[in-house]
Amino acid sequence: MNAAGDVAPRSCRPTSIGEAAGRGGAASGAAAPVALVVDAATKVYGAGADRVLALEGCGFEVRAREIVSIVGPSGCGKTTLLWSMAGLHHLTSGAIRLDGAVIDGPHPAIGIVFQEANLLPWRTLDANIRFPDEIKRRRSDEGLIENLLRQVGLAGYGPRFPRELSGGMQQRVAIVRALAQRPSLLLMDEPFGALDAFTREEMNRLVERIWLDTHTTIVLVTHSIDEAILLSDRVIVLSPRPGRVARIFDVPLPRPRTPEIMAGRAVFELASAIRSEIVGARTSLAAEGAVGSPKGEG
């Protein structure tokens, strides 16, 4: 335990999430069931001289109604892992399971928000949001869509086109489009990375508000440690490539996470510990590379 009391980060076993009760997130009260299992996920791209080992033996669990962030140095396989969870990439070995079933392709219970909103420019916002339902040939839940648009501050914007909106507003539409499908798991791949700092914090607060209302299970990939702490019940740190689980940090902070909470010593110490884990792993890898290099190189 550190000077801040109960927020000293601790490592967890990669395949167990254990003792997360009482922090106001997924595990308040009785522990929620395990929703997602990443079991020894390994991904290799290419072959021979072009072979790249992106992930190796990566494993952890995510409970229902939990928010988990994945952080790590650039190139460590975060997006590869997330796309594998979505069924968009096939693993070389290992498996990812949702509610006990192996994910081997796009899954109707999984929603995803990408780094870009990917709205169709010739369709209105209403038409973009309803596009997945058109593909599935089913009626949209109009009440749910209206409620989501109201929550994200876009009530009445349905007839507008993407070009009429800012980047942050377009990402709000992308979130509504994903949640309108009522996913049991929402994957977010650095969705706010291209936004300015103020808009990014505003979007983080929006995601937290929506989660407090829906309690959708969320896995988020981000480069921002502050964003990970603000949104998450746990933060998973991946090692430099090949990506493995280096350490898992609990975030035992109450929700909503007010600016006062985020400015406190507990958050500062947790962020420092996560940053040290990332920088330390990257430094160790660089040192190993220097030792293995011929004299005079790198």
Averaged over 204-225, what is the pLDDT? Answer: 92
pLDDT for the residue numbered 115: 87
Q: Note whether residue 237 is domain-resident.
A: yes
Within-domain flag for 38: no
186 pLDDT more than 50:
yes
285 pLDDT more than 70: no
pLDDT tens digits, 148-157 = 998 888 999 9
Cis peptide before 108 (omega within 30 of 0): no
Characterize the bridge pairing of strands 67-71 and 217-221.
parallel
The token duo for 88 is: 């968009």
| Chain position carrying tokens 């220097």 | 290
pLDDT digits 0-9 by tens, 187-210: 999 888 878 888 888 889 989 988
Regarding predicted confidence, which is higher, 151 or 19? 151
Higher pLDDT, 6 or 158: 158
> What per-residue confidence (pLDDT) applies to 224?
93
- The pLDDT value recorded for residue 129 is 95
Residue 233 lies in a domain: yes
CATH number at residue 245: 3.40.50.300
Query: Quick check: is 15 in a domain?
Result: no
Helix axes 142-151, 125-136, angle to 10 degrees: 140
Which one is predicted more confidently, 291 or 147?
Answer: 147
Percent of the chain past pLDDT 70, that is, above it, reads 84
> Is 41 contained in some domain?
no
Question: Quick check: is 126 in a domain?
Answer: yes
Name the residue range of residue 272's domain: 63-90+98-292
Per-residue pLDDT for 278 more than 80?
A: yes
Pairing of strands 67-71, 234-238: parallel
| SS3 assignment, position 295 | coil
User: CA–CA separation, 51 vs 34, rounded Å?
Assistant: 34
Residues 54, 38: Cα–Cα separation, whole Å: 15
- Asked if residue 32 belongs to a domain, the reply is no
Q: What pLDDT score does 146 carry?
A: 92
- The per-residue pLDDT for 282 is 58
* pLDDT of amino acid 283: 58
Confidence check: pLDDT of 8 > 60: no
**How many domains does the structure of the chain reveal?**
1
Q: What mean pLDDT value characterizes the chain? A: 85
Q: Let me know: does 142 contact 158? Beta carbons within 8 Å.
A: no
| Residue 3 maps to a domain | no
**What does the pLDDT read at residue 18?**
37
